[in-house]
Amino acid sequence: MGRHVGDLSLEELKVYRPELKYKPNDFDAFWENIKAKMDGENPVVRMQARKTAIPTIEVIDIEFESWDETPIKGMIVKPKNVDDCPTIISLHGYTGDRGLPVDYLKWIPLGLVVISFDVRGQGSSPDYARYQNGSRVPGWMLQGIRNPENYYYTNVYRDILLQLKWIRSKDCPLNPTILGLTGSSQGGGLALATAGLDKNIDFVTAELPFIAHFERALSVALSGPYLEIVNYFKFSDPKYNTYEEVLKTLGYIDCVHFCNSITCPVLIASGLEDATSPPSTVFAAYNHIPSESKFIEVYPQYKHENIPLHEEKKIEFIMDICRRNM
């Protein structure tokens, strides 16, 4: 059934569960140390109500001063005069941003709150981290690539851990009764990694997740951010002398390496024509998730793009979890 342009067949994908040979031996200790440090941080958060033409919602703009004082822009979109309700953290795609209130209106009539932050350095938020390497290739994939402790996505994960701490604190103007993660592409990979880092997440939806199974992605991806790394080798290291060093850094942030810790309900989507997040990298993540409630929807003719039908399935999935936890 279906198409599988440049990747494994659907039958092969269903059983594709690769060995995690680039998962570092000290992976768990590395992240436990970072989580302990983030537990000791207290972010400075500034909030401002935004005027909106829609009388049934409230919008709150956020400036979140993260662990290294990077001011990250965020937003809360919520039903008016409702503070105790299911909450979705929306994580955006590569080069994207936190979005606009209109992007989240479908959740408001269902009684849900959406919180969305820029990823540092993307959207309208800066990145105050200092990286020790430059690059001929534009983008964020190579920033700090030889230093796992100060790699770009290590810092992004730090931000998300601190944001979760704040959302659950008395300083946040919400009281999430259920807390879930949703994202596509970069956001999908971040959602899966975060669910592996935080055992108290209630659900995850991840469409076309990126940041997954790098050793495979670098071999088969034909477009998108993985090519930043491919082109690094082409222009700066054509003999691949630093390949093992680069894969070691990526091993600490590869969302597949977090998946064996995910026990909450998970819904994933994959397009069989996706050359940016190749299906084999998506199934590698899915097949390493031990959750007893996990589902993957496959769309044979979709590339790396919005899948309207899947939006309906995502709403059904999340609302079913909300009903069962009322």
Q: Which residues are catalytic?
A: 185, 274, 304
Contact (Cβ atoms closer than 8 angstroms) between residue 120 and residue 127: yes
Q: Is the dihedral of CA 66, 45, 185, 17 positive or negative?
A: positive
Q: How far are the Cα atoms of 11, 69, 84, 109 from residue 50, in angstroms, in the given order?
A: 50, 24, 20, 19
Residue 175: partners with Cβ closer than 8 Å, 6 or more residues away: 83, 84
What the block records as the tokens of 189 is 């990979």
Say which residue the tokens 């039908």 belong to: 309
Contact (Cβ atoms closer than 8 angstroms) between residue 253 and residue 149: no
Sheet holding 175-184, edge to edge: 44-50, 57-65, 71-79, 113-117, 84-91, 175-184, 203-207, 266-271, 294-299
Q: At what angle do helices 186-197 and 152-167 cross, to 10 degrees?
A: 60
Q: What 3 state SS string does 92-134 have?
A: CCCCCCCCCHHHHHHHHHHCCEEEEECCCCCCCCCCCCCCCCC
Q: What 3 state SS string does 177-206 have?
A: EEEEEEEECHHHHHHHHHHHHCCCCCEEEE
Task: Name the phi and psi angles at 253, rounded to 5.
Answer: -120, -5
Three-state DSSP class for residue 76: strand
DSSP per-residue letters across 205-231: EEES--S--HHHHHHH--SSTHHHHHH
